[in-house]
Amino acid sequence: MLTVGVEEEYLLLDAATGLPAARAGQVRRAADLQPAIDGSEVQRELLQAQLEIATPVCGSAAEIGAHLERLRHALGAAARAHDCRLAACATAPFTDRMPVPVTDTTRYRAMRADAPQLTDEQLITGMHVHVGVPDRDAGVAVLGRLRPWLPLLVALSANSPLWQGVDTGFASWRTVVFGRWPVSGVPPRFADARDYDDRIHALVRSGLIGDVGQLYWQVRLSERYPTVEIRAMDVQLRVDEAVMLAGLVRAVAAVALAGRSAGQGQGQPHGLPHPDRPPHPHPHQETLSAAVWYAARHGCTERLYDPIGGTLDSPPAVVGRVLQALGPALADNGDTDRVEPVLGRLLQDGNGAVRQRRELRRGGRAGLLDTVVEETDP
């Protein structure tokens, strides 16, 4: 059973206006005083209206859910103490004319100086899943096998339709905003860990990026932990949706590692096998990039990119094939009950993007903000 850790980024919204509130320092200090939270679990982010939490290493979906609920509750209470609200929506739905200040660190000030408009518009929040791997070569193998799954993860997790007070027409506008950085989107294929490390450090040596922290691929190897870090997902409104996505990612990684142990190296197809069809070859980079854009645009309301067959199909058909292919791994990990029912509800009731739009139509700005806050920390 592979270990998992989850990081979630949140926005702080003013309680009265719903605008981003630059109170991350005060909220973090208030959270540190609560006995239910360890100060090391809460980190600053690029802008002063953002905070990030990180769960401990978890062995089960139940552990992930319990830690996320604990951390959201503690941060939510700290935010209320400073007249703002914790919001797990992946873009700030409403913004002011003045930009939110960057967090006062050398790295973040340098990013602001290098790309001021991009930095000002980073009012976006994601969810990162870390899956433990035995070594970096195994991590590169898992990274390669995860590439075809990125469009599906983007579509399922889409939770950022609004931007600066308007509906963007995209389900995940965060994916579009984040894709403007130099090294972002779907990563290329790598032969092994040495190839990966040579290429990422060459980017830094060339001066094209400041450090390896600026590798904003949707999946990458962690430089701090023995993990593969999947960064494609929007932060989720609800804890059970975050747990479902973590379970899916862990199942794909488990199958990838099992295939590698059985001798299926980098030369084998990356799509998981399906009993009714042969595995498709490595999808081309342009195919996956286009599929991610399609997923960001439509979410789950149109067709989904099938990571197994490499085609577009209806959401129920794709999810059915995915669950059939991942079923044994989900069962081995004890994640079936945390994944299948939530996926079924998501297809019926809609993901975060669908629900945000629905609430905006029903209750206007106030109704939307109430729903976001209530689902973030019920």
Range of the domain at 269: 4-376
Neighbours of 267 (CB within 10 A): 7
Write down the residue that tokens 């197994």 correspond to. 308
Q: Give the residue among 97, 149, 160, 79 at the shortest CA–CA distance from 124.
A: 160
pLDDT of residue 74: 95
Number of domains in the chain: 1
What's the CATH code of the domain at 21?
A: 3.30.590.20
The reported pTM is 0.94
| pLDDT single digits (tens) 186-236 | 999 999 999 999 999 999 999 999 999 999 999 999 999 999 999 999 999
- Across the chain, what does the average pLDDT equal? 93
| Cα–Cα distance list, 311 to 271, 288, 318, 348 (Å) | 12, 11, 9, 22
**Tens-place pLDDT, residues 78-127:** 999 999 999 999 999 999 888 999 999 999 999 999 999 999 999 999 99
DSSP, residue by residue, 274-297: BTTBPPP-PPPHHHHHHHHHHHHH
152 in Cβ contact with 347 (< 8 Å):
no
